Amino acid sequence: MSTLTSTSTAAAPAATPSGRHAGGRTRPPRRRGRIWLYLCVAAVLVLFLFPLLFLANTALKSNAEFASNPVGLVHSPHWSNFSQAWSKGNFGSYVLNSILYTAAGAGIGTFIALVMGFPVARGYVRGGKVWRAVFALVLFLPNALITQFQLLLRLHLYDNRLGYILMVGVGVGVGPLLFSGFVSSLPRELDEAAAMDGVGYWRYLFTFVLPLARPALVTCFILQAVWIWNEIILATVLLADPTKFPVTVGLYAFKGTYGNQWGLLAAATLIVAAPLVIGYLFIQRYLVNGVLGAVKG
Amino acid sequence: MASTASPFPFPHRSPVRISFFAGFAVLTVFGLVPAALVLVASFTDLRGLPGIPVNFIGIDNYRSFFSAAHLDDNLNALKNTLVFAGVSTVVQLALALGISVLLNRPLRGRAFYRSVVFMPTVLGVTVIGLVWSLMFNPSGGPAAKVLSWFGTDSAFFGDPKLALALVTFVQIWAVVGVSVIIFLAGLQSIPEELYEAASIDGASGWKRFRLVTLPLLAPSITANVLLGVVNAMQSYQLTYVLTGPSNKATQVLSLMVYVQGFGGTSGTTLSQSQGYAAAISMVQFVLVGAIVVVTMRYLRKREARL
């Protein structure tokens, strides 16, 4: 490695012009290379987009058309699949449940990241190292399905919306770690200046830190929100009443009932997937930041 | 570090403590306590019904896990877990490396391609499970159609020999985008001059990849391997959606916790031994911990060598 670098820096200025010249002469193979590149890209796109396009195609087929032509392009779009799936699957109330669980759960998690992450990063509470270890520890907890169920049972929070929200709310993942990493980029002088002006800690935390740290907090919120929106096992275990099910469990139950009517089932799947795909366009940036921040931390 | 010498600017420390420990209390009661109690529960005959006395039964659950009656099932789940985690991590890594090198080239529409690869991250297991059940629908799905051109057919997820491989494939499809993002960040931090220098030294494309890209990507590789192994060892939601909770061909340890603790089918909850399920949780936890420590040791050593 090091030898490669040192020889190159010396040789670089002299060699570049001829190198560029050679590049111009070898244009035909280059172009062939680019075609290969785009073929590879096309293969990747097919791998990732075809399943979703095929889902949309199936969602427009009536039972009869699916039976006679399961793979081909749809002939007579059967739009009523969507309205039928929506009402038969009761997705309206499932979606409302999911919105409640996701907003409240990710809200609790982000709040925890804020009130714990800030003082730890600033050293305003004793034992900074221990707390940082706790933030890392929450990423490596054992599968606690049994005890989570038992705890809610004993607190009389089993089959209770609040119980489920609290359980997914503490699934903070990388949140506190991510946020305390971000806090170090906020100038410490700001704390001192605000305190000097007589601003109390809570007012400072919620009216100064919160807006300044919004990108980091939004990242924490979205990472957890995506997890909660898609969570299915805890909801299956902790909720028994179908009117409280989130949309994931609702869709899984729908599959159990209408498993052989693929047109309807695909429409239902698309109803659940569409908000995710559309929302993805807006939250992608935060997700990428979250993943990269988590790896650094 | 900074925490040792930090003058506290605000007049009172109590608000800091109140909000800090309020957050910590919620995290502890609903997050840390259940996690810690898994170990305690694994030494009891805890059942899924409230009001039944709970007795400590020592290591009986663990003895039962390794007893002749359960050993076959458990070894099968253990084998599936390791195969699933090993294969999906390795293939995911290789595929992600290829895709990220490809998408690091100056292509038109590169941002869009990256978004497409990363998209399954938001779709969630239920949607992904249904999409791929449709793709691998044995009666007339696209995959069956392709097979029919070659004059064969398959039950896909219904075929015990194939099911685990297909679940692994879907898992890779679902999470490879995360690895690609991590690799792309690593690739972008490699200075362009190194490549120029290497080509001037006469290094071919493959040699440039092996001598420049791979060594400098070592930290991203470590991150991806760890993330992949931990994620794959603990993931069972996709298996649950694709092949059901008690399919022997795809049974993994973490799904067994669910099946043992909650029956998998409704109505069996009451008789299930949740203490035994907790013991499976602990076996799995120790296994994941051991694998993480060993891989971390190995990768750190490799990183240092490069």
CATH number for position A210: 1.10.3720.10
> Is B50–A153 a contact, with Cβ atoms under 8 angstroms apart?
yes
At A196, which helix (H) or strand (E)? helix A188-196
Q: Assess if residue A277 is contained within a domain.
A: no
Interface test with A, best of B37, B103, B107, B123 (most A CBs within 10 A): B123
At A174, which helix (H) or strand (E)? none
Residues A173 and A221 in one domain: yes
User: What is the per-residue DSSP string for B102-164?
Assistant: HHTS--TTHHHHHHHHHTHHHHHHHHHHHHHHHHT-TTT-HHHHHHHHTT----GGG-TTTHH
- Residues of chain B with C-beta less than 8 angstroms from the C-beta of A123: 1-4, 6
Q: Which range among A4-13, A157-166, B162-171, B201-210 shows the weakest confidence by mean pLDDT?
A: A4-13
> Is B118–A284 a contact, with Cβ atoms under 8 angstroms apart?
yes
At A90, which helix (H) or strand (E)? none
Surface of A (249-278) touching B: CB under 8 A: 251-252, 255, 262, 265-266, 269, 272-273, 276-277
Q: Assess if residue B254 is contained within a domain.
A: yes
- Evaluated on CA atoms B24, B30, B35, B38, the torsion sign reads positive
Q: What whole-number percentage of chain A has pLDDT above 70?
A: 89
Q: Assess if residue B75 is contained within a domain.
A: no
Residues A94 and A67 in one domain: no
Average pLDDT over all residues of chain B: 87
pLDDT score of A22 more than 70:
no
What is the per-residue pLDDT across A119-156, written as a single tens digit (0 to 9) for each? Answer: 999 999 998 899 999 998 888 888 899 999 999 999 99
Q: Write the ipTM.
A: 0.86
Rounded to an integer, what distance in angstroms lies between the CA atom of residue B226 and that of residue B237?
Answer: 19
> Is B117–A48 a contact, with Cβ atoms under 8 angstroms apart?
yes
Residues A66 and A187 in one domain: no
For chain B, say whether A55 makes contact (Cβ under 8 Å).
Answer: yes
Model pLDDT, residue B218: 87
Residues A113 and A244 in one domain: yes
Residues A117 and A247 in one domain: yes
Model pLDDT, residue B264: 53
pLDDT score of A12 more than 80:
no
Surface of B (171-210) touching A: CB under 8 A: 173, 178, 181-182, 185, 193-194, 196-201
> Is B285–A229 a contact, with Cβ atoms under 8 angstroms apart?
no
**Domain total for chain B?**
1
What is the per-residue pLDDT across B193-230, written as a single tens digit (0 to 9) for each? Answer: 888 888 888 888 888 888 888 888 888 898 899 888 88
Residues A124 and A241 in one domain: yes
CB–CB of B273/B48 below 8 Å?
no
pLDDT score of A1 more than 70:
no
For chain A, say whether B139 makes contact (Cβ under 8 Å).
Answer: yes
Q: Assess if residue B7 is contained within a domain.
A: no
> Is A147–B115 a contact, with Cβ atoms under 8 angstroms apart?
no
User: What is the per-residue DSSP string for B260-295?
Assistant: HHH-SSTT-GGG-BHHHHHHHHHHHHHHHHHHHHHH
Q: Which range among A290-294, B115-119, B121-125 shows the weakest confidence by mean pLDDT?
A: A290-294
A55 closest CB neighbour out of B11, B131, B234: B131
Nearest residue of A to residue B23, measured between CA atoms: A112
A142 closest CB neighbour out of B35, B141, B262: B35
Surface of A (201-230) touching B: CB under 8 A: 201-202, 204-205, 226, 229-230
Q: Assess if residue A272 is contained within a domain.
A: no
Residues A45 and A178 in one domain: no
Q: What is each CA distance from A84 to A55, A62, A81, A91, A275, in whole angstroms?
A: 17, 11, 5, 10, 18
What is the per-residue pLDDT across B82-108, written as a single tens digit (0 to 9) for each? Answer: 999 999 999 999 999 999 999 998 888
> Is A230–B125 a contact, with Cβ atoms under 8 angstroms apart?
yes
Rounded to an integer, what distance in angstroms lies between the CA atom of residue A180 and that of residue B106?
Answer: 35
What is the per-residue pLDDT across B240-298, written as a single tens digit (0 to 9) for each? Answer: 999 988 888 999 998 988 888 887 554 444 456 889 999 999 999 999 999 989 988 88
What is the per-residue pLDDT across A72-106, written as a single tens digit (0 to 9) for each? Answer: 888 888 899 999 999 999 999 999 999 999 999 99
Residues A102 and A72 in one domain: no
Rounded to an integer, what distance in angstroms lies between the CA atom of residue B21 and that of residue A21?
Answer: 67
For chain B, say whether A33 makes contact (Cβ under 8 Å).
Answer: no
Interface test with A, best of B12, B14, B16 (most A CBs within 10 A): B16
Q: Assess if residue B296 is contained within a domain.
A: yes
Model pLDDT, residue B4: 45
Query: What would the two tokens of residue B150 be?
Result: 């070659």
Rounded to an integer, what distance in angstroms lies between the CA atom of residue A145 and that of residue A143?
Answer: 6
Rounded to an integer, what distance in angstroms lies between the CA atom of residue B306 and that of residue B298?
Answer: 13
Residues A45 and A102 in one domain: no
Rounded to an integer, what distance in angstroms lies between the CA atom of residue B306 and that of residue B299?
Answer: 11
Q: Assess if residue B139 is contained within a domain.
A: no
Which residue bears the tokens 């601003």?
A: A199
Q: Assess if residue B243 is contained within a domain.
A: yes
**Domain total for chain A?**
2
> Is A19–B274 a contact, with Cβ atoms under 8 angstroms apart?
no
SS3 B56: strand
Query: Which residues span the domain enclosing B246?
Result: 82-125+161-305
Model pLDDT, residue B2: 44
The secondary structure of residue B44, as a DSSP letter, is B
Q: Assess if residue B145 is contained within a domain.
A: no
Residues A68 and A174 in one domain: no
The secondary structure of residue A186, as a DSSP letter, is S
Query: Which residues span the domain enclosing A59?
Result: 22-83
Rounded to an integer, what distance in angstroms lies between the CA atom of residue B296 and that of residue A264?
Answer: 47
**Residue A37: how many other CB atoms lie within 10 Å:** 14
Q: Which amino acid is at B89?
A: T
Average pLDDT over all residues of chain A: 86
Q: Assess if residue A15 is contained within a domain.
A: no
CB–CB of B127/A273 below 8 Å?
yes
Model pLDDT, residue B268: 45
Q: Assess if residue A265 is contained within a domain.
A: no
The domain that holds B294 is classified in CATH as 1.10.3720.10
CA distance A248 to chain B (A): 6
A295 closest CB neighbour out of B46, B196, B223: B223
Surface of B (242-261) touching A: CB under 8 A: 254, 257-258, 261
Residues A197 and A160 in one domain: yes
Interface test with A, best of B24, B100, B122 (most A CBs within 10 A): B122
Model pLDDT, residue B197: 87
* Mean per-residue pLDDT, A169-193: 91
Q: Assess if residue B28 is contained within a domain.
A: no
Residues A164 and A249 in one domain: yes
